[in-house]
Amino acid sequence: MPTIPTAAEIKARIVADIETEIGQTSPALPKSWNKVIAGAVAGVIVLLYQATLWVYRQIFPETADYAALILLGKLVQVYPVSANQAVITADVYGTIGESVTSGTTLFKASNGVVYLVTTGGTIGSGGYVECTLTAQTYGDIGNIEDGAELRIVTPDTALTGTAIVTGTTTDGADAETEASFRSRVIARYKKRFTGGSPADYELWGLEAPHFIWVSPYAGNEPGTVWIYGEVDNQVDGIPDTAQLATLKDYLIYDPETGLETRRPIGAEITTLPISRKPFDFDISISGASTATKNDIEAALSDYLLSLSPYNEGVSLERNDAVTDTGASSVVNDVARSAGATVISLIVRDGDSSSPLTNYILYGGQKAKLGDVTFTDMA
């Protein structure tokens, strides 16, 4: 950012300019008057500098205020993700033949979130009817696990007062943070989008619910595209079949219009889950407590989870190598802070137990922590 001169510096410069223009040093009285005028003008100039600098900051997504950031995002079709209400299904119990009224009946979860019955029905022979309920609070707090019990807010003589959650139709989501939105806008300006480039597929894929990493590759046959995806709500980030189908829809159809305006004509898309390759570690260490060893395992896990296969079309930096030097650096940092000393560290392929010095991740393969064996040294 440009540096703004201080008011004192501007004032001195004005006085100097006046004396330069008249070709002589001003006498005492006029000189004092010059300083008064210069002081008044300097304050205005500082304000002009600050206004100019503010405008300068709004040009770039890294420094723009949030309101300007939204406008910068609109230019490249990136918009903030709004908070979303959870929509669930639940079995509402009551008297056979009676109706569950939509739009008025309310149930409350143990965390205090209230759900409105948005699709009711008639209670069947089993003594219940499956209804659709919508959380009246936006955000992740509205998500509730299957089997949870809800209690009616206002007693109804036709109902027992309980409902059992059977499924989730729409996940509730918190509004996107400013930092998250800013990072997406910055990434969009850094990558070139041409309507079918790797960066396009990545952008479209990351719009799909729960996907946090998407990497496209050319398939084995002309016109085929393989898209690997990672999610934030499954074990090891491996998406299930339904999520992969959703990902494919986002790569083909615009979710706002429902029109098939995304993939290039003739492109055959295959969505694939990531895989997790385990890596084991043999660590000889001195002076390490159980807590320190646990911290080392957590640090190694974070190190491995931070790595991703390099894709020239979408990766902004290369961070795809599992190395003994990288692991040693992580372990030594933790050990030193706890007063322990690492004597040696061996990285092993978790599938074959073979020692290795480096391993390059490729395609949809990601890393995870396997077994860590500590040997205490005197």
Q: Where are the domains of the chain?
A: 7-75, 87-170, 192-273, 277-376
Phi and psi angles of residue 36, each rounded to the nearest 5 degrees, phi first: -60, -50
What is the torsion angle, in degrees rounded to the nearest 10, for the CA atoms of residue 158, residue 161, residue 104 and residue 84? Answer: -150
| Mean pLDDT taken over the chain | 90
Helix (H) or strand (E) holding 378: none
pLDDT by residue (tens digit) across 182-202?
988 988 887 766 778 898 999
pLDDT by residue (tens digit) across 321-337?
999 999 999 999 999 99
More confident residue, 360 or 31: 360
Residue 150, token pair as written in the block = 């809800």
On the 0-12 / 13-18 / 19+ scale of CB atoms within 10 A, 323 is middle
Question: Taking 60 as the threshold, does the pLDDT of residue 26 lie above it?
Answer: no
Contact 212, 237 (CB under 8 A): yes
Q: What is the mean pLDDT of residues 28-43?
A: 69
Q: What is the mean pLDDT of residues 273-291?
A: 96
* Cβ within 8 Å of residue 314, ≥6 positions away: 191, 198, 199, 202, 214, 215, 216
Q: What is the mean pLDDT of residues 101-107?
A: 91
Question: What pLDDT score was predicted for residue 188?
Answer: 81
Q: Which of 65, 60, 83 is nearest to 2 (CA)?
A: 60
First-to-last C-alpha distance (Å) of the chain = 54
More confident residue, 166 or 28: 166
Question: What pLDDT score was predicted for residue 32?
Answer: 67
pLDDT by residue (tens digit) across 333-365?
999 999 999 999 999 999 999 999 999 999 999
Q: Which of 59, 72, 54 is nearest to 183 (CA)?
A: 72
Domain 87-170 has CATH 3.90.1150.10: no
Question: What pLDDT score was predicted for residue 333?
Answer: 95
Contact 335, 296 (CB under 8 A): yes
192-273 CATH fold: GMP Synthetase; Chain A, domain 3 (3.30.300)
Question: What pLDDT score was predicted for residue 27?
Answer: 57
* Cβ within 8 Å of residue 73, ≥6 positions away: 61, 79, 80, 181, 184, 185, 188
pLDDT by residue (tens digit) across 118-136?
999 999 999 999 999 999 9
Contact 77, 187 (CB under 8 A): no
Q: What is the mean pLDDT of residues 156-181?
A: 92
Please give the model's pTM, rounded to 2 decimal places: 0.62
Phi and psi angles of residue 93, each rounded to the nearest 5 degrees, phi first: -100, 145
For the chain, what percent of residues have pLDDT higher than 90?
Answer: 68
Question: Taking 60 as the threshold, does the pLDDT of residue 29 lie above it?
Answer: no
Q: Name the band, by pLDDT with cuts 50, 70 and 90, for residue 265.
A: confident
Q: Do the domains 87-170 and 192-273 sit in the same CATH topology, yes or no? A: no
Q: What is the mean pLDDT of residues 292-312?
A: 96
- Between β-strands 224-231 and 268-273, what pairing exists: parallel, antiparallel or unpaired? parallel
